[in-house]
Structure 1
Amino acid sequence: MSLFRVALFSFLFSFFYSCGKKSEPLSEGGLERIQALMADMEKEAQEMAAELDRVAHLYEYLVQKRDSVLEESTVLKYTFEGPFSTNRPDQDSSLSSVIILNTTSDRKKAEEEVRLTNSLDSLFASFIRKNKMAVQIYSNSAMQVSRVYPSYDAKNIVDPNIDVTTFNFYYEADSVHNPSRGLVWIPDAYVDPAGKGWILSLVHPIYEGDKLFSVLGVDFTVSALIQNYLESVEGNFILVNGKGDIVAAKGEATEFLGMPPLKNHVYRESIQSDNFRISDFNLFHSKSAEVRKMAQALLFEKKNRYEFVDEANLRLALGLSFNKIDWYLIELFSEY
Structure 2
Amino acid sequence: MEYDLAALEDEIRSLGEFTESLFLRQDELISTGDRTLYKIDGVAANSEPGADPKKSSLYITQLATDLRKVEDMILVTNPLDSVFRKILQKYPVVSQVYFNSSIQLNRLFPPYNVYEMLEPDLDLTAFNFYYEADEAHNPERKPVWVDAMYIDPVGRGWMITLTQPVYHMEELKLVLGMDLTLNDIIENYINKTSHQILIIDKEGTVVAGKSKTIEVFSLPPLKNHTYTQTITSDSFRKEDFNLFKSRNGEVRRIADGIINHQQSEVWMTVGQRKIKVVSKKTSKLDWFVLEIFL
Alignment TM-score, normalising by the size of structure 1 = 0.81
Root-mean-square deviation (CA, aligned residues, Å) is 2.1
Higher mean Cα deviation, 261-270 or 42-51?
261-270
Deviation at 1:234, TM superposition (A): 2.2
Contact 1:251/1:263 (CA < 8 Å) preserved in 2? no
Contact 1:240/1:327 (CA < 8 Å) preserved in 2? yes
The verdict on how the C-alpha distance between 1:320 and 1:300 changes in structure 2, with shifts beyond 3 A counting, is same
- Map 1:132-151 onto structure 2 (within 5 A): 132-151=92-111
2:240 pairs with 276, 280, 285, which one?
280
Deviation at 1:222, TM superposition (A): 2.8
Distance (whole Å) between structure 2 residues aligned to residue 64 and residue 267 of structure 1? 46
Deviation at 1:333, TM superposition (A): 2.7
Contact 1:315/1:333 (CA < 8 Å) preserved in 2? yes
The verdict on how the C-alpha distance between 1:323 and 1:183 changes in structure 2, with shifts beyond 3 A counting, is closer
SS at match of 1:81: coil
Deviation at 1:224, TM superposition (A): 2.1
Contact 1:139/1:146 (CA < 8 Å) preserved in 2? yes
SS at match of 2:226: helix
The verdict on how the C-alpha distance between 1:264 and 1:53 changes in structure 2, with shifts beyond 3 A counting, is farther
The CA deviation string for residues 143-179 of structure 1, in whole angstroms up to 9 with x for no partner, is 1111000011121121221221232211222222222
Q: 1:38 aligns to what?
A: none
1:305 pairs with 262, 265, 269, which one?
265
2:191 maps to a residue whose letter is E
1:126 maps to a residue whose letter is K
Unaligned runs of 5+ residues in structure 2 are none
Identity rate of aligned residues, in percent? 33
Deviation at 1:96, TM superposition (A): 0.8
- Map 1:1-336 onto structure 2 (within 5 A): 41-192=1-152, 196-262=156-222, 265-309=225-269, 311-323=271-283, 325-334=285-294
The verdict on how the C-alpha distance between 1:309 and 1:168 changes in structure 2, with shifts beyond 3 A counting, is closer
Contact 2:134/2:165 (CA < 8 Å) preserved in 1? yes
1:102 maps to a residue whose letter is Q
SS at match of 1:126: helix
Deviation at 1:283, TM superposition (A): 1.5
Q: 1:26 aligns to what?
A: none
Alignment TM-score, normalising by the size of structure 2 = 0.91
1:155 maps to a residue whose letter is Y
Distance (whole Å) between structure 2 residues aligned to residue 97 and residue 280 of structure 1? 36
The CA deviation string for residues 271-317 of structure 1, in whole angstroms up to 9 with x for no partner, is 22244212111212333221221112112222122223464355222
Contact 1:140/1:216 (CA < 8 Å) preserved in 2? yes
The verdict on how the C-alpha distance between 1:265 and 1:124 changes in structure 2, with shifts beyond 3 A counting, is farther
Higher relative contact order (CA 8 A, sep 6+): 1
Distance (whole Å) between structure 2 residues aligned to residue 309 and residue 146 of structure 1? 50
The CA deviation string for residues 86-115 of structure 1, in whole angstroms up to 9 with x for no partner, is 532554211111011111121122122212
Contact 1:76/1:114 (CA < 8 Å) preserved in 2? no
Q: 1:20 aligns to what?
A: none
Contact 1:305/1:316 (CA < 8 Å) preserved in 2? yes
SS at match of 1:296: helix
Distance (whole Å) between structure 1 residues aligned to residue 76 and residue 27 of structure 2? 9
> How many aligned positions are there?
294
The verdict on how the C-alpha distance between 1:144 and 1:252 changes in structure 2, with shifts beyond 3 A counting, is same
Deviation at 1:194, TM superposition (A): 5.8
